[in-house]
Amino acid sequence: MKKMYRGWAIFTLLTMFAVAGCGGSPKAAPGSSPTGSQAKIGVVSYLTGGGAAYGEAIRQGIELARDEINAAGKVKIELIFEDSKGEKNEAINAVNKLIHKDNVVGIIGPTLSGEMFAVGPITAQAGVPIMGTSITAEGITEIGDTIFRNSLPESLAIPHAVKKAKEKFGLKKVAIMYSNNNDFAVSGFKTFEQSVKANGMEILTIETFADKDTDYSAQLTKIASLKPDAVMVAGLYQEAALILKKAREIGIAVPFVGNNGFNSPQLIKSAGKAADGSIVASPWFPGKDDPKVKQFIAAYKAKYNKEPDQFAAQSYDAMHIIALALEKAGTTNDRKKLKENLATIKDFHGVTGNFAFDAKRNPAMDATVLVVKDGQFTELK
């Protein structure tokens, strides 16, 4: 019996040494990795489907920033991309994979506000900081204290655009259109409605549509008969471009004031000349006299052979903000420390301007009101 016990004890010890020699130490906790390794950042983006131009710009902005950060050497970033296809369930699956399989320290994305409403509770429960770079609906950061965004909420951007349009064009009566099955557009509509009333203008009609609709004849024919001074639209560029083309086709020549969905060159590419006269507020203005902006545009064009848009600029800044927080935290793997240090970011000068997080983890920054003229976004003065 004693021999059997001694034999078993020796076997157990040998097994333990063998496991140790093969790297069989206890697994690291979720979100952790060996000191000095790369920080794993997950990215959930709308890369295929009708809104893929948003997601592609976001991906490119993040990649450009990652290359700069890794070259500087203060922290090293590894990116893991997941395609949400603009669908809530796809975004949920992507986030669960990034958190529980890839063990990321933080997440950038997703692209749409509706997606963030779906995945926010998951990331909050897991304690994983997540940064929205294109999320503008109201109530986003209230989901949990791990949720941040550097995209300007509609409640701040739309009022700027509405007020400037009223002053520039003497607006008195307007029509409003919005996608009623899109959380981001519904939030934008509510802000448009409040802003129009706050500026003493009359709302002639409120017309709805749905994402992926292709025929807007009924809504726009009604609007044309009412002769508004402007039309306010809350939706994504795919639908907005079709609305603009049909509106110009039936003789509606007044300005269109858009929400954040208008902030993509794809709107101009899809709508063509019909996009002229579209007004939108954005923290990103490529014509800004800022060396950092000029350097970013040059680097982006050199890498991707095209001009960056607002979504590329905001994601580029977001990646640099996360890297700064990781540097301040002194870790590449501690989710809690990343969250705590993100909240302290102040006086960050990015390509979208001077930035800080407010008490609710929303951006504290200014917006520029832009108008599409001759196929280009220019400042509305």
Confidence of residue 295 (pLDDT cuts 50, 70, 90): very high
Short-list 179, 276, 279, CA closest to 235: 179
Q: Is 46 exposed, middle or buried (0-12, 13-18, 19+ CB in 10 A)?
A: buried
In this prediction, residues 24-33 reach a mean pLDDT of 35
In this prediction, residues 241-270 reach a mean pLDDT of 96
Residue type for position 195: S
In this prediction, residues 311-316 reach a mean pLDDT of 97
Short-list 211, 220, 218, CA closest to 180: 211
Other Cβ atoms within 10 Å of 94 Cβ, number: 26
In this prediction, residues 342-368 reach a mean pLDDT of 94
pLDDT digits (tens, 9 = 90+) for 72-89: 999 999 999 999 999 999
> How much of the chain, in percent, has pLDDT values that exceed 90?
87
Confidence of residue 9 (pLDDT cuts 50, 70, 90): very low
Q: Is the pLDDT of residue 45 over 90?
A: yes
Minimum mean pLDDT range among 16-30, 90-104, 133-147: 16-30
Q: Is the pLDDT of residue 163 over 90?
A: yes
Question: What's the pLDDT score for residue 146?
Answer: 97
Which is the CATH superfamily of the domain at 155-282? Answer: Response regulator (3.40.50.2300)
Task: Break the chain into its structural domains and give their ranges.
Answer: 39-152+289-366, 155-282
Q: How many whole angstroms separate alpha carbon 144 and alpha carbon 135? A: 15
> How much of the chain, in percent, has pLDDT values that exceed 70?
91
Q: Is the pLDDT of residue 238 over 50?
A: yes
Q: Over the chain, what is the mean pLDDT? A: 91
Q: Is the pLDDT of residue 12 over 90?
A: no
Omega of the bond leading into 283 within 30 degrees of 0 (cis):
no
Q: Is the pLDDT of residue 236 over 70?
A: yes
DSSP letter at 142?
A: G
Short-list 179, 230, 181, 242, CA closest to 204: 230
Q: Is the pLDDT of residue 104 over 80?
A: yes
Question: What's the pLDDT score for residue 123?
Answer: 98
Q: Is 123 exposed, middle or buried (0-12, 13-18, 19+ CB in 10 A)?
A: buried
3 state DSSP class of 139: coil
Which pairing describes strands 376-379 and 368-373: parallel, antiparallel, or unpaired? antiparallel
Q: Is the pLDDT of residue 154 over 70?
A: yes
Q: How many whole angstroms separate alpha carbon 151 and alpha carbon 109? A: 11
Question: What's the pLDDT score for residue 37?
Answer: 84
Q: How many whole angstroms separate alpha carbon 117 and alpha carbon 138? A: 10
Question: What's the pLDDT score for residue 279?
Answer: 98
Confidence of residue 28 (pLDDT cuts 50, 70, 90): very low
Minimum mean pLDDT range among 2-11, 55-64, 67-76: 2-11
Do domains 39-152+289-366 and 155-282 share one topology? The answer is: yes
Query: Model's pTM, two decimal places?
Result: 0.84
CATH number of 39-152+289-366: 3.40.50.2300
Q: Is the pLDDT of residue 228 over 50?
A: yes
Short-list 79, 119, 131, CA closest to 95: 119
Question: What's the pLDDT score for residue 284?
Answer: 93
pLDDT digits (tens, 9 = 90+) for 178-206: 999 999 999 999 999 999 999 999 999 99
Q: Is the pLDDT of residue 2 over 70?
A: no
Question: What's the pLDDT score for residue 6?
Answer: 41
